[in-house]
Structure 1
Amino acid sequence: MAGGTSIWFSKDAQTDPKEIFNLRLLYLLISVAWGGCFYGFDTGNIGGILTLKSFENAFGMASMSEVEIDNRKGTIAAMLAAGGSAGSILAAPTSDFVGRKWSVFLWGAVFLTGAAMQMVANYDVLIAGRFIGGMGVGASSMLTPQFLAENSPKSIRGSMTATYNLMILMALMLAFWVNYGVSLWSYQGVETDDTQWRTAMGIQLIPGGLMCLMIPFVPETPRFLINHGKSEKGRKHLSMLRKLPTDHPYVQLEYQEITAQVRYEQECYQGHSYWVVMKDIFTIKSNFQRFFLAVMLFLFHKFTGTDSLNYYAPEIFQLIGVKEGSSSLLTTGVYGVVKFVVTIFYVAYLVDRVGRRLPLLVGATMQATAMLYLALYLRFAGSNTHTVGGTPAGGIVGIVWIYIYALGWSFGHSVACYVVAAEIFPTRIRSVCMSVCFFINWIVDYGITRATPNMITEMGWGVFLLYAMLTYAGVIFIFFCLPEMKGRSIESMDDLFQRPLWTMWRHAYPTEEERVRQGVMDITRKAENEDHATEKKDEGRSEHTEYVRSRG
């Protein structure tokens, strides 16, 4: 990471002190972002593993009816999301009382425990392991963006927070290709050998182990420390992260913003109990508007149908004419590559240069249109329309539209809700708000994942039409209600959300004064002017002394 005039850095970042883009910040980013791999590997693994004959034989699915198989597959895939909903709620108290750093470590260890249990060829143990592993995934999905947002310089906060999503998609892509690789195994007895599915399942242990090894060497977030009465330690950690002295103007401005926010909250609101925090969320207009916006973004994020594609991509490709087996897994692997490559571009360039709002509007429109094509194609051409020469022309166009969907997803709903939720809330209520948002995210994920096999069987093309209409509705909501967060400090969000939510489109892009919390810039300028006046006064005294000496 470096400053200077790199084209990958926003205009704001190019004017920041180059010292703040340092190896310590890079180490923190890598250590925490491993949490994204938990979700990516598990999501990408299970869809392909469920199609392997060795897995079906290991868990007694080979002799079941189609309805029983649909139910069991849905339960296995969805149990991760059920655990995720529990983990996302439990992450809030650990984050607030144990601290951000050790909460990340704790839930990483929980994930490792669940991942290890999934290697056992027993249905009950597998279900329990997926629930426990899901708790680690759900907690990490809330804690990782929060940790990254609280430690990031505001000029690259979007890129750093979005790295969590980049790691999800990197792991998702790798999982797709691991599944494709093991599907090509053809030695005698492969269909009864547990090694095949365990190889694909076991890869998720790697990022969990790396995160738990690296996190102990990462500092606690300055915002957490200052909010819990450890101001000097918070200032020290801020100075250490920015690699600047504590009296440097950049550190002073950021520290003043954090302390001003904490002081304001302490003066206005008493107590840190969750009852008091919930009252603050639902009775204070600016807090409730932020909470409502974040919840709606997560709902529309799920209503795009991404979970159906991620968990059941091989089956969906078969619907539009791709042959069953390694061909559908290969097509799924390419789908993962498209998502990963486009997300790299989003994280490295778009999110902190173009922003969150415009890419989300464009990307969501692309997703909705792709789903609409799939619905119309399946409605008029039917499903599983194989031809002698392979996939029919309409099916090939469908594959292209799914890849366009992946492109739109990667710089739209894939990242935006995580980044926005991590940066719009004040420190006092951030953990609770993010936990509720991620609980909703995971409980809807559970419902969609559990129901998808049955929905495809019962509704067919109607599933994709439903996703298309919901995603178009989300585009309208986003246009009117989502302001641009790029360049704003976390603390300045208080001023922004005093306005009615439906008018945010009029104030979408911040002026220079709106980038910093009101009053803090004045305090900083006043301090700088006083320092300048003192320096002038000292210079005057020195000149007078020299004059007196020269006169004898």
Structure 2
Amino acid sequence: MAGGTSIWVSSEAKTDPKAIFNLRLLYLLVAVSWAGSFYGFDTGNIGGILTLPSFQNAFGMSGVTQSELDNRKGTIASMLAAGGSAGSLLAAPTSDYFGRKWSVFAWGLVFLVGALMQMIANYEVLLAGRFIAGMGVGASSMLTPQFLAENSPKSVRGSMTATYNLMIVTSLMLAFWVNYGVSKWSFPGVEHDNSQWRSAMGIQLIPGALLCLMIPFVPETPRWLINHGKSEKGLENICRLRKLPADHIYVQTEYREIEAQVIHEQECFAGHSYWVVMKDIFTSRSNFQRFFLSVMLFLFHKFTGTDSLNYYAPEIFALIGVKGSSSSLLTTGIYGVVKTVTTIFYVGYLVDRVGRRIPLLIGATLQATAMLYLALYLRFAGTNTETVGGTPAGGIVGIIWIYIYAFGWSFGHSVACYVVAAEIFPTRIRSFCMAICFFINWIVDYGITRATPNMITEMGWGVFLLYAMLTYLGVIFIFFCLPEMKGRSIESMDNLFERPLWTMWRHAYPTEEEKTRSDVREEIMAGKLNDQDDDGKRNRVEHVESV
């Protein structure tokens, strides 16, 4: 457990009770994080599968014009993102009304149905399956970081939430290598053998099944329970997850922060309807600034061009001079390894020691510079490099820059927007705000994925220049507007975002006092935490349940 959640490097974790880092928390982490493999396997699979002759023959893509081929590739690849945009919106009401736990389970089943449909060699069924699986992926992309953040001790919240992204890139890497492996199959009639592309496509069924089998045994998040008037059950689940008694100072501090935020929210706007939630977002300066920041982070996350690389990496490597489909897939496989190794370093070391802000600034700058090199190289060397004897020198440098891009992505935009969105919102508005953020994420993903084959054909080097300029712009926004979340409790964000968003760079790093919600901190300092009498406790619980 320690190696997976940065306990060995996080100063905050070293002062926490050792009991909170237990096997129950590890089981929850593993069970929920399987959802990351939904996205990773599908994203990594489809780009390579689209290049397989057996797949093209099975779905009527052989012998068509380049324009028709681009359209079909774009439609197939982007259908998952279209489903993702729908799933991310639908996940909010299921999460709020049925709970985080059973929502994750239900959407895992939806993903499994869609994944099974993709194994059928019929173009229309394939598109429907990718849309349905996409709904499961989109819903899980919102629910999983939320579930992990709400259950995590604050000292390792970044690492636990980022494990979802680690599963994405690990599965992405495995999918790249599976594609490379099946591309090397050589026997008579392989180009008409559906087992080739089905072997690559079917691997995504494994994490879907594991998630659905494991989720029923994890506890519901205490924050959802307390927010829905089930304070006693919420306190019980905190004790179960932390393996500490109810009167322990750690448990009482966490419980009281959650409870204080719930009471404050209900005093401002009573109820849980989405009309109330929207009023809570757009009439509260603190809430609106958090919402705006998260939306912008997701936009800049997409504007780095990562979807173009993830879905069409083999073709982009071929664009800079990598010869042969197997060579392109091999180079793509190494790209996946770079992403995975760097993400392991981020999850195990950076996110809860260095934080979210500095790695994102450095990583985004590396990504922008990599895209700028690709744009300049393709502008002056051309997109149809026909040299004899292998990849030209400029193309080799381009490969290195793509690997640098993967390095920067893995501790920057790959993770930061997920972690930040999962940890900055109050409980009542968290599902709604995250649903909107992920809807934007997936709808932009759909547009980019659908358009990339046509954009590369029509715009060439201009695509990469556009990504570079947008990513540099994002670096400026992040510097001024993104504070550091490391070490802060989720509930303490209320105080932080009362300040103007553009001044966050001046208050980026919290003092010890700012890591805990101010009203609860004052109560602790006044000596009331352990002296609270039974009547006071009962009155607070009754107040939460009554609203």
TM-score by length of 1: 0.95
The alpha-carbon deviation at position 528 of structure 1 amounts to: 6.0
Deviation at 1:9, TM superposition (A): 3.0
Name the counterpart of 1:307.
307
Once the two structures are TM-superposed, the CA of residue 519 in structure 1 deviates from its matched residue by 1.5
- 3-state secondary structure, aligned to 2:76: helix
Distance between the aligned counterparts of 1:8 and 1:318, measured in 2?
42
2:6–2:156 contact (8 Å) kept in structure 1: no
Q: Which runs of 5+ in 1 are unaligned?
A: 533-552
* 8 Å Cα contact 1:318-1:384 kept in structure 2: no
Distance 1:248 1:363, change over 3 A: same
| Counterpart for residue 418 of structure 1 | 418
Partner of 1:526: 526
Task: Decide whether the 8 Å contact of 1:297 with 1:417 is kept in 2.
Answer: yes
Q: Contact conserved, 1:2 with 1:18, CA < 8 A, in 2?
A: no
1:183 corresponds to 2:174: no
Aligned partners of 1:530, 1:209: CA distance in 2, in Å? Answer: 45
Q: Following TM superposition, by how much is the alpha carbon of 1:524 offset from its aligned partner in structure 2, in angstroms? A: 2.4
Cα deviation digits, residues 311-369 of structure 1 (max 9, x gap): 00000000000012100000000000000000000000000000000000000000000
The Cα shift of 1:522 comes to 2.2
Is residue 360 from structure 1 mapped to residue 360 from structure 2 by the alignment? yes
SS at match of 1:340: helix
1:275 aligned residue: 275
Residue identity in the other structure for 1:364: A
Letter in 2 for 1:433: C
Q: For the Cα contact (< 8 Å) 1:35–1:141, is it kept in 2?
A: yes
Are the counterparts in 1 of residues 83 and 131 from structure 2 also a CA contact under 8 Å? yes
Alignment TM-score, normalising by the size of structure 2: 0.96
Which residue of the partner structure matches residue 491 of structure 1? Answer: 491
Distance 2:276 2:202 in 1: 43
Q: Percent identity?
A: 82
Report the CA distance between 1:169 and its aligned residue. Answer: 0.2
Match of 1:262 in 2: 262
SS in 1 for 2:351: helix
Moved more, 220-229 or 520-529: 520-529
Q: CA offset at residue 189 of structure 1?
A: 0.4
Query: Stretches of 4+ moved more than 6 A in 1?
Result: none
2:262, 2:283 → 1: CA distance? 19
Give the aligned partner of residue 12 of structure 2: 12
SS of the residue corresponding to residue 490 of structure 2 reads coil
- Decide whether aligned partners of structure 1 residues 185 and 264 sit closer, same or farther in structure 2, where only a CA change above 3 A counts: same
Closer, same or farther: CA 431–529 of 1 in aligned 2, 3 Å:
closer
Shift of 1:63: 1.8
What's the secondary structure of 1:353's corresponding residue? coil
SS of the equivalent of 1:519 reads helix
Q: Distance in 2 between matches of 1:356 and 1:75?
A: 35
User: In the aligned structure 1, how far is the partner of 2:2 from the partner of 2:457?
Assistant: 52
Q: Which amino acid is the alignment partner of residue 200 of structure 2? A: A
Alignment of 1:327-366 (within 5 A): 327-366=327-366
Aligned equivalent of 1:172: 172
Identify the residue that residue 92 of structure 1 maps to in structure 2. Answer: 92
Amino acid at match of 1:348: G
Aligned to 2:402: 402
Residue of structure 1 in register with 2:543 after alignment:
none
Give 1:115's aligned residue: 115
Shift of 1:25: 0.2
CA distance in structure 2 between the aligned counterparts of 1:278 and 1:171, rounded to whole angstroms: 36
- Kindly provide the CA deviation profile for residues 383-420 of structure 1, in whole angstroms up to 9, marking residues without a partner as x: 13132220000000000000000000000000000000
Q: Does 1:429 align with 2:429?
A: yes
Could you tell which deviates more after superposition, 202-211 or 510-519? 510-519
User: What is the distance in 2 between the residues matched to 1:282 and 1:338?
Assistant: 41
Corresponding residue of 1:235: 235
User: Equivalent residue for 1:321?
Assistant: 321
Q: Which residue of 2 aligns with 1:512?
A: 512
Change (3 A) 1:83 1:155: same
Partner Cα separation in structure 2 for residue 32 and residue 365 of structure 1: 31
Q: Secondary structure at the match of 1:484?
A: coil
Distance in 2 separating the partners of 1:371 and 1:78: 22
Residues 475-498 of structure 1: CA deviation (Å, up to 9, x unaligned)? 000000000000000000000000
Q: Does 1:388 align with 2:388?
A: yes
- Whole-angstrom distance in 1 between the partners of 2:191 and 2:100: 44
1:156 alignment partner in structure 2: 156
